Structure 1
Amino acid sequence: MTLMAERETGRRAPGHPLRAEAVRGFAPWAGVAGFLVTAVPSAAGADRWQGGWAETRTELHGVLLILLPLAAAAGCWQGGRERRRGTEELWGTAVRGPLARFLASALPVALWVTAGYLLAAAGAMLASWPYATGDRPYLDLLPADAVVLTAAGVAGQVVGRLVPWRVAAPLVAAGGYAGLGLSGRSGTGAGRRLDPAVPVAEHLVPVGWQPAAMAVWAVGLTAAAVLAYAARRRWTALPPLVAAVAAGALLVGSGDGLWRENPAAGRQVCDTSTTPQVCVNARYGELLPQVTAALSGVTRRLEGVRNLPARFEDHRGEPRDGEVQLPMLTPIGWSVVRGRLTDPEQYAWEAVMMLEGRGDCRELDPDLRLADDAVQHYLAPSPAERTFDELAAQGDEERRREFARRKAARAALAAMGDDERRRWLSAYFASVGACGAGEVPAL
C-alpha cells in the first residue's frame, strides 16, 4: 500500500531521520577526522610498530588518548546544533519522543568517529602483516576501544545539550585531554584502572574479562546520562548506572590482576647449532635467521673456546646461569625496522660487549682494557672503530701511544695460531664480569 500510494502521489515517503543524519551534515566529517587523527600519527611513527603485533595493538590503543576527547567534543558540538540554529522549539515539536530524537542526532556522529578509527586500525593491521616476525594479531582491546569511543561521542552530545556555550566543545576536548593525562600519571591508582586509554606495555595482555568490564563501565555511565536527560521515565537510568558501578568496582578491586604477562613473551626459539646458542623471543621468532646470520662471524670465531655461556637469551629479567643477554631487539624502530635488522655489524659488536660483561665496571684494569679492545676487533669490530682510530692517531702524544698499544694488542691476537688463540680466549672469557686483569694473559 505504501508503495502504491507513493506511485499515485508521485512522492517518496520520508526516510528515517537516523539515515538522514548519517549521510549528511557534520557526522561524516567527524568520521574523516577520526580516521585522520588515528592514521596520520600512526603512519608518522610506523617504524616503531610496523611488524610487531603487540606494538601495533599498543599504538592503536594509545591513539585513544587523543581520540576520546575528540569524539566527546564532536558529540558536544552536534548537541549544540539546534541552539546555534535557533530551532530548539521546532525540534521539540517533532512527533518522535525526546530519547528517539536524541539518539537520531547522537549516534551518527559517534558511530562515524568510531568507523574512522576502525578503518585506520584495519589499515594498520594490514600494514604490519607483511613485516610480522612471529606471534599473532592482538585484537583483544579493539572491540572494547571501539565501544568506549562510541560512548564518548554520545556522552559529549549530552554535554552539548545541557551547556549553552559555543565554546563547550573545545572545553570538553581540553578537559578530556587533561583528565586522561592526569589519570595516566596516577601510577597504579583507581583512576588509572578506570582509564580506558591507559597505555598498555607490549609484553602485557589483558585478562579475558577486562575489555568487557571496561566497555560496560563506559557504556553504563553514558547510558545513565542519556536516560537521565532524555527518557520519559528518569528512573530507567538506574540499571545502567548500577552496571557501570559494578564494572568499575571490579576493575578497581582487581588491582594488578587486570593484566598478565604475554605467554608468547615468556617463550624463546633457539638455534642450537652455534656456540653460544642464539635464542630470540617467540614474539619475534622469524627474526632468528637474521640474528643468527648477524652473529655468525662471532660464533664461528668462538668455535672450540671454553668458558662461554651456553646461549644468548632474549627474555625479560636477568639472564639465568649459563646465559648472556642478547642485544635488544626492542623497542621496534631501533635495531629492527619493518622486520629487518637495521645494522647487523653494530648488532654483532653489541653481542660481543654482552659477552665481555663489563658494563658495571667504573674503572677497568689497563691490560684488561687492551684485551677487551683486541677481542672486540677480532670477533666483531664496531662500525665506528675506524673513525675512532683515525681520531686517536691524530690526537695528542698520550692518545697516540694508547692507540699504538691497542694496535699491537690486536696484531698479537690476530697473529696467534688457532690453538693458541683458543687457549687465550678461553682464559679471557674466564674473566667475564671482572674489572681487574685476573688470569687473562697479557697480549
Structure 2
Amino acid sequence: MTGSEAPARRPAHTALLAELRRGIAPWTGLALALTVLVPMWSKASQWQGSWGETQNLLHSAAALLGGPLVAAAACWQGGREHRRRTAELLLSVPRGRLAQVTTAVAPIVLWAAAGYLVALAAAFAATAPYTAAGGPSVSVVAADLGFLMSIGFVGFVVGRLVRWRLIAPVSAVCAYVVLGFPGYLDASARFLSPAQEVFLEGSVPVWWFAPVLVTWTGGIAVAVLLGYAARRRHLAVVPLALAITAATVIAHTGEDLFRDDPAVAYRVCTKAAPGTPQICVRADDAPVLPQASEALRGMFSRLEGVPGAPVRYVRNGSEPQDGEAALASVGRGWGITRNRLTDPHRYVYDTALGLVNHNCSAGPGEKGRKQDERMARTTDAVISWLSGEDSPWYPDSRQLARLEAMPDAERKVWLGRFLAVPAHCTPAEVPVL
C-alpha cells in the first residue's frame, strides 16, 4: 500500500469502528436478541427437542418482530444528520455519497446480524440436548440474516428521505403489516414475505432456497441504496431485475420450496416381542419411545390374544396399514415437553380412542338417536376398559360393568368382533354389550 492510499482509507475505517462502538447500533443488536429470545423462551416447551420447531419459531420471531425493529433503528440512524442539522456538512466530505451511506448504515446491520446470531446460538444450545434426528437448516439462517440486513438498508434510506421524527416508529408498524399480511393469503405469493411461516418440522428447504431468498430481499435493498446514493442511479435497475426474477421463482414454487427431510421422516420402532405390539414413531420422537411403551403396557396386555388386535402402532403422518393402528397425536408443547410425555394417562386414553372410535350414525329420528347413544356408550366402555381411565362422558356406564364381568375368553371374542367393525358403519354393526 502506498502512502497516498493509506490516508484515504483510514478515515472511513476509523469512522466505522467508532460507529460500531457508540450510538444506537450496539443497542439494536441487544434489542434484537431479546426480541427474539423472549417470545421463544415463553414457548420453550413447544420447540425444545426439535430442530424444525426451533427454527420455525426462530424464523418467525426474527422476521416478524426483529425485522420492524431493525427497520426502525436504521430509519432513526438515517435521520440523524437532519436532526443534528449537519446534512449540508456532508456535501463537503471528499468521500462519495454511496460510501458515506454504507459507512453510516453498516453498524446497524452488523449489530442486527450479531444479535440474531446470539439468539440463534442460545436457541440451538437449548434444543440440542433433546434432539434425536435431523439438524438445523443453514439455508434458513442465511435467508434470515440476508433479510435483516436488507431491511436495515431500506429503513436507513427512508430515514434519510423523510424528515419526520416519528418516521422510525411508523416504519416499524408499516414493516410489521407488510410482513404479516401475506400470511393470511392462500396464494403462493405469500412466500414472498420473509416472515412467512416455514415448514421445517420434518421438512428441509430446497438447495437453492437461500440464494433465491437473499436475491429477492437483497436485490430490493441494493436497488434502493443505489437509487438513492449512487452517481449512476440507473444501475439500480440491475439488482431490481434480479429481485423480480427471484420473486417470480418464489411465487411460482410456493410450498414446493420445502421437501420431506429423510433424516426425520423414517420410522424408529421398539423391538418386536411375542404378544407385544411394536410402537413406531418418527426419528425425532425416538426418545419418547421408552415412556410410551411403559404407558401403553397395560392396554397391550388387555388386548393380548384379541383377534384382529393391531401388531404395530405408528405415528408418522401416514395412514396406518393392515395390522397397524395410530398412536395418539401429540406434539411438542401439547403432550411432549423436552422428550417427556406430560400426561401418560391421556396418551393411553387417546390411543385407545383412535383404535376403537367409529364414524357411525343411525340417522335422524328417536330410534336413530337411541341407537347412536347405545353405540356411543359401548365405544366409551371399551375405551375406558382398555385405558384403565374413568370415562369423562359416561362414568356410570353399565356397559363397562358388563365388559369387566365377562369371562376373559368371552371378552376377547367380543372385542375381536368390536375391532372388526369398519370405520364407516351403522350402529347395528356394533356388537351389543
- Give the TM-score of the pair, scaled to structure 1: 0.86
Say which of 410, 424, 435 aligns to 2:414.
424
Give 1:115 shift.
Answer: 1.1
Q: Which residue of 1 aligns with 2:281?
A: 280
The SS at the match of 2:164 is: coil
Distance 1:301 1:117, change over 3 A: same
Measured in 2, the distance between the counterparts of 1:381 and 1:155 equals 61
Ranges in structure 1 where 5+ consecutive residues have no aligned partner: 3-11, 393-402
Distance 1:209 1:360, change over 3 A: farther
Checking the alignment, whether the CA contact within 8 Å between 1:276 and 1:311 is kept in structure 2 is yes
Give 1:256 shift.
Answer: 3.7
Q: Which residue of 2 aligns with 1:24?
A: 22
Distance 1:261 1:14, change over 3 A: closer
The SS at the match of 2:93 is: coil
Checking the alignment, whether the CA contact within 8 Å between 2:188 and 2:253 is kept in structure 1 is no
Distance 1:241 1:439, change over 3 A: closer
Measured in 2, the distance between the counterparts of 1:432 and 1:381 equals 24
Q: Does 1:375 align with 2:382?
A: yes
Checking the alignment, whether the CA contact within 8 Å between 1:57 and 1:139 is kept in structure 2 is no
1:14-413 alignment to 2 at 5 Å?
16-63=14-61, 64-190=63-189, 192-201=190-199, 202-264=201-263, 266-271=265-270, 272-273=272-273, 275-330=276-331, 332-359=332-359, 361=361, 365-382=372-389, 385=391, 403=396, 406-407=397-398, 409-413=399-403
Question: Residue deviations 1:213-244, cap 9 Å, x none?
Answer: 00011111111211221122323323322322
Comparing 195-204 and 105-114, the one that deviates more: 195-204
Distance 1:61 1:13, change over 3 A: closer
Give 1:263 shift.
Answer: 3.0
Distance 1:373 1:183, change over 3 A: closer
Give 1:322 shift.
Answer: 3.5
Comparing 284-293 and 61-70, the one that deviates more: 284-293
The SS at the match of 1:319 is: coil
Distance 1:74 1:361, change over 3 A: farther
- Give the TM-score of the pair, scaled to structure 2: 0.88
- Structure 1 residue runs of 4 or more that deviate by more than 6 Å after TM superposition: 12-15
Give 1:350 shift.
Answer: 0.8
Give 1:13 shift.
Answer: 9.0
Q: Which residue of 1 aligns with 2:429?
A: 438
Measured in 1, the distance between the counterparts of 2:52 and 2:138 equals 10
Measured in 1, the distance between the counterparts of 2:333 and 2:293 equals 20
Letter in 1 for 2:33: F
The SS at the match of 1:422 is: helix
Ranges in structure 2 where 5+ consecutive residues have no aligned partner: 3-9, 363-368
Distance 1:148 1:297, change over 3 A: same
The SS at the match of 1:254 is: helix
Give 1:367 shift.
Answer: 4.5
Comparing 364-373 and 289-298, the one that deviates more: 364-373
Identity of counterpart residues, as a percentage?
40
Comparing 171-180 and 242-251, the one that deviates more: 242-251
Distance 1:335 1:224, change over 3 A: same
Letter in 1 for 2:50: G
Question: What is the total number of aligned residue pairs between the two structures?
Answer: 415
Measured in 2, the distance between the counterparts of 1:255 and 1:428 equals 45
Question: Residue deviations 1:365-418, cap 9 Å, x none?
Answer: 454444333322322133x64x777xx6xxxxxxxxxx2xx25x4344334443
Checking the alignment, whether the CA contact within 8 Å between 1:297 and 1:380 is kept in structure 2 is yes
Letter in 1 for 2:342: T
The SS at the match of 2:280 is: strand
Measured in 2, the distance between the counterparts of 1:86 and 1:75 equals 18
Checking the alignment, whether the CA contact within 8 Å between 1:294 and 1:344 is kept in structure 2 is yes
